[in-house]
Amino acid sequence: MAKRTTTPPPGETPQDGVERVIDIDVEDEMRSAFLEYSYSVIYSRALPDARDGLKPVQRRILFGMSELGLRPDRPHVKSSRVVGEVMGKYHPHGDQAIYDALVRMAQPFTMRLPLVDGHGNFGSLDDGPAASRYTEARMAPAALLMVSGLDEDTVDYVPNYDDSLLQPGVMPAAYPNLLVNGASGIAVGMATNMAPHNLVEVIGAARHLIAHPDCSLDDLMKFVPGPDLPGGGRIVGLDGIRDAYLTGRGSFRTRAAARVEKLTPRRMGIVVTELPYLVGPEKVIERVKTLVQAKKLQGISDVKDLTDRKNGLRLVFEVKNGFNADAVLEQLYKLTPMEDSFGINNVALVDGQPRTLGLKELLRTYVDFRIEVVRRRTEFRLRKRQDRLHLVEGLLIAIVDIDEVIQLIRTSDDAATAKARLMSVFDLSEAQAEYILELQLRRLTKFSLIELESERDELRRQIEELEAILADEKLLHRTVSGELADVAKAHGTPRRTVLLESAGVPASVGAPLEVADDPCWVLLSSTGLLARTSSVDPVPADGGRAKHDAIIGAVRTTARGEFGLVTSAGRMLRMSAIELPTLPPLGGAPSLSGGAPLAVFADLPAGEEPLTIVGLDADGPGIALGTAQGVVKRVTPDHPARASWEVIALKDGDRVVGAAALRDGEEDLVFVTSDAQLLRFSASSVRPQGRAAGGMAGIRLNPGACVVFFGAVDPTSDAVVVTSSGASDALPGTQPGAIKVTPYAEYPPKGRGTGGVRAHRFLRGEDALVLAWVGARPARASGAAGVALELPEASGRRDGSGTAYPAVIGGIGSPVR
């Protein structure tokens, strides 16, 4: 037992100078004190609220900045001023803890959607920030979404630490901040670690949950396939993500985005452009140097940090001669922070209690909260408009009989008497009478009467809309969903992190493989998305078309195989299938919406466009190339020991407009020019040439004309010719044109180097083809915005005019065999 000395209660005095002593149990006292301390840390410091995703210090910083008026359109102020305001009024802790929280909310590499707009040195992944007296801050646009509605009774206020002021217990939060920006914190006996996500994806899932409350986790994961980290990178392995979305706990591996390049004619290198979440370049460099000195990492001769503000992160590792660069890269992944593990532990406060939440529970908690916020805001606005309408109606009564009102007021002894007489004579309420007594003389004009009547009608309309929202639960839900859609449209950004089911290494490295080398198809869409699928037939002949689904290239390869990308500059880029996102087997039309942008895998200079993808089989008939100046070339895509090489020597001003992989060398090669001339001839008439050759004459062009389409067509197939006409001096997509579909058999074959035959007759205002395509008839075309468009029926006249069409087609989706 222990003794506790206490002072006597007020009004009592100790007898004979003896203090009161109470015997207590030390075990009970320690348990009680520790529980109080634990709850204080959990509730008031370490864990975020599941509704707004903010910890108390973050919430108080945003509220303090809002009270100071530090909006995005106002100048920055010293961070120390913000820290002092928050510490003095709302957060009775050290200034360093407040400043650290403010800095984190301003770091774009920490938060997916920063809440603070910082000016100055707010640190990096390797260095800390400058002191608060040297930096400046204001609210970011996303922070306005968090505090919007605080003045409309949307949330409850609670006293601050000394009961002198009020502060919001939770922010209105116009978007799911907890999922978008994530959270991390260590409490007593528990911790939270939540990954950031893409704003557009999270809002899409929230809107789907509003419309379908009983949806499954798989339905939500169609919108949120995985985290979207601020620094990009790649997430390898999706099983742990699904576990985390289901149970609230899981893990995944993040991997740096790296590629092998030829730094000099005799030296290969590894270029890293993205690192795992919260991993800085100096940490990687230091680890690499330590491993090289300990001889645990071999093959690296030098490392350079070429990171700058213009180009972003760029770490270059020079590989020694005689070492396999792919094997060295795998060593870097294995031994350095270039591959890291992220453990998800979705612990957040729900009704003041810590709970571990899955994706659906997190979204449900936010959606229910946001619906309540909008309900309270609607009730507040309704009350305000009803009160204002009440005053306006009273003022209109007074203005109609203004002479009698003035006479009544002038003959009254005092204001109280005037108010009472107004209420009695004109049947006004007390609020209306007081408002009339405060009336300014300038409101007594005819124009003011018109203004008041317009304001009355507008208030009645707004009141009717607000009452409809409160009376209809479905309309309330639609209102919340519409506001979320507006937020996503205004503040959404593209996904930065690429999701991969698993990762492997080239067979030449000799390392264990994580992915079986199974056959697969690599697909390239007209919107620049790459993906691979194990479907037997990835492009059904009778499949429909939708956005991202116009396939311009399909290559049969294996999961660890390689393929080539042909560009308009006449280059072939070597690419690996193992790095591509995997699509599920397709049962119908293709959908590349889950693919990754081509820019993730190939850095093309400005003006160089991707044309198609081909296999790297040197034993086949090769590929055929056609240029804008009418040159044709046939070349075999052999295997030079470099990442890219030229496949045609182009003349000045020329570019490749089409490339096609040949199957047996007996296909027809087809040119279509801007002046509507079509030439078809056999591929066997074009002899194969080496990579350095410039090709041979394909089609003879008329003055001012150029080639708009080149491709290879099976002469035995039921192919069609699709042409679209328009004005050459009009901006693309700004003028309606004409579309014509003609059977390919209507065009006779001609000799190589000739001018071809007429394919399209121009109407008034048309002088050029803006698009042409030849091949197996597609079910639909892809419009300029990626939407599916129906094609007209095939016409019998090969040189006739086309069918009027509302918009110029931007690309054709075709079956690829």
CATH of the domain at 262: 3.30.1360.40
Pair (475, 565) in one structural domain? no
Catalytic-labelled residue, pool 134, 157, 744, 747: 134
pLDDT computed for residue 261 by the predictor: 87
Query: How many CB atoms neighbour CB 106 within 10 A?
Result: 23
344 - beta bridge partners?
250
CATH number at residue 751: 2.120.10.90
Residue 182 scores a pLDDT above 90: yes
The CATH number assigned to the domain holding 66 equals: 3.90.199.10
Q: What is the DSSP string of 428-494?
A: --HHHHHHHHT--GGGGSHHHHHHHHHHHHHHHHHHHHHHHHHH-HHHHHHHHHHHHHHHHHHH---
Is residue 322 assigned to a domain? yes
pLDDT one-digit tens code per residue, 25-69? 777 777 766 666 555 555 566 789 999 999 999 999 999 999 999
Cα–Cα distance between 244 and 193 in angstroms, integer? 11
Domain of 479 in residue numbering reads as 367-491
Token digits for 12?
A: 């009592």
- CATH number where 389 lies: 1.10.268.10
Distances (CA, A) of 793 to 128, 307, 741: 66, 55, 7
Q: In the listed set 491, 525, 554, which residue is the last one of a domain according to the structure?
A: 491
Could you report the per-residue pLDDT of 648-667, keeping only the tens digit for each? 999 998 999 999 988 888 89
**pLDDT over 90, % of the chain:** 48
**Is 584 inside any structural domain?**
yes
**SS3 call for 95:** helix
Domain shared by 332 and 470, yes or no: no
CB 65 within 8 A of CB 134: no
pLDDT digits (tens, 9 = 90+) for 613-634: 998 876 778 899 999 999 999 9
What share of the chain has pLDDT > 70, as a percent?
85
| Average of per-residue pLDDT across 157-165 | 91
**Are residues 718 and 603 part of one domain?**
yes
Same domain, 803 and 656: yes
The reported pTM is 0.65
Judge if 740 and 677 occupy the same domain: yes
Poorest-pLDDT segment among 87-96, 316-325, 744-753 = 316-325
User: Is 635 in the same domain as 678?
Assistant: yes
Residue 772 lies in a domain: yes
Look at residues 172, 195, 212 and tell me which one is the last residue of a structural domain: 172
Residue 246 lies in a domain: no
The enclosing H or E element of 300 equals: strand 300-305
Average pLDDT for the chain: 84
Q: Are strands 737-743 and 803-805 parallel, antiparallel or unpaired?
A: antiparallel
Quick: pLDDT tens for 499-509.
887 654 433 34
| Structural Rg of the chain based on CA atoms | 35
Q: Quick check: 19 and 5 in contact, CB under 8 A?
A: yes
Residue 802: the pLDDT is: 72
Mean per-residue pLDDT, 349-377: 94
Lowest mean pLDDT among 276-290, 404-418, 525-539: 525-539
Distance CA 39, CA 46 (A): 10
| DSSP output for 547-602 | TT--EEEEEEEETT-EEEEEETTSEEEEEEGGGSPEEPPPSSS---TTSEEGGGT-
Q: Of 337, 359, 386, which marks where a domain is finished? A: 337
Is 134 a known active-site residue? yes
333 and 371 together in one domain: no
Structural domain includes residue 38: no
- Rounded CA-CA distance 273/329 in Å is 13
What is the domain count for the chain? 4
Note the pLDDT of residue 64.
95
Which residues share a beta bridge with 697?
Answer: 631
In a domain, 222, yes or no: no
Q: What is the tens place of the pLDDT at every residue in 511-523?
A: 332 346 778 889 8
In this model, does residue 769 exceed pLDDT 60?
yes
Q: Assess whether 558 and 671 both reside in one domain.
A: yes
671 and 526 together in one domain: yes
Look at residue 261 and tell me if it is in a domain. yes
pLDDT value of position 462? 94
Residues 469 and 519 in one domain: no
Distance CA 373, CA 365 (A): 12
Residue 191 located in a structural domain:
no
Q: Please check whether residues 522 and 666 belong to one and the same domain.
A: yes
Residue 718 sits in the same domain as residue 791: yes
Give me the helices (H) in 90-126, please.
Answer: 95-106
